[in-house]
Every structure is written in C-alpha cells, then in structure tokens.
Chains A and B, each alone.
Chain A
Amino acid sequence: MNTSIEVNGLTKYYGQLLAVDRVSFEVETGEIFGFLGPNGAGKTTTLRMLTNLTRPSEGSALILGMDTVRDSLRIKSVVGIVPEASNVFNELTTVSNLTFTGALYGMRRGQRAGRAAELTGLFDLEAHRNRKAAELSLGLKRRLTIAMSLMHRPSVVFLDEPTSGLDVESSRLIRDIVRDLHRNGVTVFITTHNMEEANQLCHRIAVIDHGNLIAVDTPERLKQAATEAQAVEVAFDRNLDPGEEEALSRLPCVSELRALGDKYRLIASDPPCVLEAIYPFMNERGLKPVSLNTFGPSLEDVFVKLTGKGKEQPANE
C-alpha cells in the first residue's frame, strides 16, 4: 500500500514554547487516520504544518511525495482542509461559497456549478442553496465548510475536530461522509479529542500529548494496552446495602468497584472470572440481575494509561 503522508521529526517552537516535538508517522493511502489528544496537545499545530499554514521549526513532511514547504501550492491543489472553526463567507450564499472555492482551485464555471449541486445534495444542503451562510445553523455551516474542502475532489483531506459542538444528525452525516471518502480511496487525517469518534471512524490512531507522539496503532490494538481496564457492569433488582457492596468489591479478580447510578461497574483484567463469581454472590443474597454486560477497555482508558491523566480530563477539554 502507498504512503500518502510521511512525517519525519516535525517540530514546532512558538518562541520558547515547544508545541510539537519531533513527531514522525506515516499515513497509508485511503486510510482514515486519527490524531487524538487533549486541547493544546499539538494536534492543530501538526495539521497546520502538514498543510503549510505554519512552517515547521525542524523536520519535514511529504504529502503524496511532495514536500509540504517546497511544493506547497502543488500540495494545496490535491488536499482539502477543514479548519476547526467553520470559516465560510457569511455574506455569500451556500452555492456562492462553494463556487468561489471552486474558482480558487481553477475550476471552470460549468464544473463549479455541477460540483456545487452534487455537494449540496451529498451534504443535505439543497434547501439552503440560496441562503446566506450567516443565516445557517452551526451544523449547516459545518457541513458547508466540509463541502467547500471537497469541491476540487482532493486525494487527501485534513479535518480538524470535524464534529466538535455539533448536533447528533450533523455529526452522523459527517461521519458517513468521511466513510464515503475512504470508500472512494481518499486519505483522511482527522484531529479530534473525541475518543468515541476516533474509535468509530479511524483505522489507526496516533495519540499526542504535550507535543509528543505517544503511540500509533489501530484502536483495538491500542485498547489491548489497557486490558486491566476491562469491566463487568451489573444492575440488580434492588439496592445493595453497604455490607453487600463491600462483598461485591471483594469478588475474585475485581480490582475496583464503581457505583454508576443504579448500576455497579466492576473493573477487572479478567471479566469471565468475575462472571463465574457473581452468580453465587447473587444466589446467596436473593438478588436478580436486571442487566449484566461486559466491557472491553475504551480508548479513554488507553489514553489515561498512556498519558497518565485523570480519567475525566480528556473528555472535558
């Protein structure tokens, strides 16, 4: 398989601040590659260096074999860039935003009109074709921003936090479009701090924190790094008294007990071992399970393990 993005020792200083520290990785052609990390980790800076919106202090990157600094204009003609902020022209209509973008890529009038019609359909924007962007909701503006980045049919698309702050419908639509891009052989590079999104979309994920690349692997392989964070979640037909809770936490293989509303989460590295012990526990106390589920480690668990951060921290950032 060919490599679309090749990053070698990319480094960025802002004054004395080291924002990105010798980051190296490769992205295969047609892959959906996630760049995961909390705010301020260096995700957007890396993306801006890859698209030559910011010059690297050290290191280099190749996109489709072209150097991001030397061949900047050639690269820009084959990549689509979706910034974190939806920077559409509020004074122009949906269609005008699209056709203007097409004109910047040297597309002819007929091509622009055709592609704009295609994209308004794909992004469910037909009803808003002639509305000024200022009148569009946040979700519609986001869709328009992504549609603008696809006007020239790029081979590589960079998306910076594509679904941040969006409603469920828009987020789902955007994820479906990202999957469509992958099916059409487009390489997609997504920066996100949304672990579930990275888990659902990406073939591989790079975890970055404080400008350092901590890990690059598939979501499932990354999760194996946190097997001790697997869990059994159980809800009983009545509340447990403190003594019963204490007994539950002492079941074999359970390393931690967390009360979550009407449920209990038993953290364990070996869930089958917990399941074997939990039925005798219920039988002895006349308890019946309302629900009983096992969970593998989440990407959030992986992130906590890799970065040593508090569990709730990445989700809040």
Chain B
Amino acid sequence: MNDTAAEAGRLAVWVGLRKAWAVSSKDMRIYYFQPAVLIFGLVFPVAIFFAFMIGRDVDAVSLFPGLIALTLFFSTTTVAPFSVPWEKMNRTFERLLFAPLSMSEAVLGKVISAFLFGLVVSIFPLLIGIIFFGSSIEDWAALVLGLFLGSLCMATMGMLVSTVRADTPPKVMMVLNVVRLPLMFMSGIFIAIPTLPYYGRVIAWFSPVSYCTDLFYRGLGFRDYFGLLTSVLMLIAFTAAMFFASVLRMRAWNR
C-alpha cells in the first residue's frame, strides 16, 4: 500500500515536472527573442559594464566575474517580468489556470525558462573572458555552482518581481529596475566584496546577487568573501524563499 502511494507520488511529481516544462518551452519560443527581453536582458548589462570600465585604469580580467554576474542577473530577471504581465494582459495566463496545473508548477515553469536563458547568455562573457582576455577557471565547482544556483536564484527573483500588482510589462519592468539598480551596486559586481568598505560588506549580505558574484570571483581565481558553502546555502535559501513567496502571491492574485 505504501509502495503504491510512493509510486503514485513519484508519478505525480514527474507529471508535474512535465507540465512545468511545457510552460518553459512555450516561454522559450515566445519570449526569448522579444525586443524588450533582448534589450533589458542583454544590451543593458553590456552597456552598463562598458560605461563602468571605459576610461578606468583597471585590469579587464578582474572585471569579468562582475560582467558574468551582471549578465546573469539582468538576463534571468528579465524573462518573467516580461512574460507574466504580458500573459495577464492578454489573458493567456488563464490558460495555465484552466489546466490541471498547480500554481507551484506554473511558477516553476516560468522560473525554468528564465534560468535557462540566463545560463546560456552568461556563458558568452565567460567564453569571451577566457578566449580574448586570458581569464582562467581556478575553481570549477564554484563557477558551475555560481552559474546554476545563481541563475536559478535570479530567475526566481524575476518571478517574484513579476507578481507586483501592475497590468502591463512596462510597469513591471519599471519596478524591476527599481529593484535591480540598487542591488547591482550592493552586490560586488563592479568592486569585489572583500575590497568594499565595511558598510558595503554588511549590505552585501542582504543581496542574493552578492553570493552569485562571490562564487564567480572564486571560480575565476580571485579572493572571495563569503566562502563556497555560505554562498551556496544562501543562494538556496533565497531561491526557496522567493519561490514560495511567488507562489503565494500568484495564488492571491488568482483569488
């Protein structure tokens, strides 16, 4: 009897994951190449990075952990804040509610599409750093964990922002940038956390982006601040908290 229940449970989880994947693959086809996603997710971080770098006497290699983090942060957090209000506005989000799809599965589907987008996009600055600027990977585990957990965490953050009470993508994008811009400066993207002043290092603890950036610094052979285990645990904790908050907010919206 217990085996049967466990088997039914595993099957339900598998079916749920397949449904979430259906939402993700649909999002990939529809939203990855939307101009707003490309501009806010790709052009924006590259422009900000060059605006910061050009004219400053800094070693380009030391900036690549920050560029990867910035690209990951902007690309992953752009997808859901565009797709969710777009679908609410066009009432296509209701399609997900008509189906036997739990809100957790719907949110997971949205998060996965943003996660994969950020993961693929952030590989490019990494490759550019390695091929053209001589960056080298010193700690594979930190880099890979930073890419995977960081992308997942930022995708969930984007999902949480997309649940704000706004009816159009531009309004949600505005809220998103209000959140993103301060986080960009308090997370060690431009200046590594260990070199920040004391108050900067304290503030960095409150930003999930800090842990992701710190893992990239460590992965590319620079001094980190939090340590591998702390960064990993904090990213998991932020991801879980923001995921459940997103589900609760979406349920409240649906009611």
Contact = CB atoms under 8 A, between A and B. Distances in A.
Q: Do A and B truly interact? A: yes
Interface of A: 51, 53-55, 73-74, 76-77, 81, 83, 85, 87-92, 96, 100-101, 103-106, 148-149
Interface residues of B, number: 22
Interface in B78-115: 90-92, 94-102
A265 B35 CA distance: 61
Interface in B60-91: 90-91
B18 A87 contact: no
Contacts, number: 61
Nearest to A97: B95
Given A51-B98, A149-B98, A103 B92 contact: no
A76 B98 contact: yes
B96 A106 contact: no
Given A87-B95, A106-B19, A53 B100 contact: no
A148 B98 CA distance: 11
B29 interface: yes
B206 to A, nearest CB: 36
Looking at B29, B92, B99, the one whose CB has the most chain A CB atoms below 10 A away is B99
B254 interface: yes
A88 B18 CA distance: 21
19 contacts: A53-B98, A73-B100, A73-B102, A76-B98, A76-B99, A81-B98, A87-B90, A87-B91, A87-B92, A87-B95, A92-B29, A96-B29, A100-B22, A104-B19, A104-B23, A104-B101, A105-B99, A106-B18, A148-B95
Interface majority SS (helix, strand, loop, mixed), chain A = loop
Contacts of A73: 100-102
List the 8 closest A-B pairs by CB distance, nearest first.
Answer: A103-B22, A104-B99, A77-B100, A76-B100, A87-B91, A81-B98, A91-B30, A73-B100
B26 interface: yes
Given A85-B91, A103-B18, A106-B18, A92 B26 contact: yes
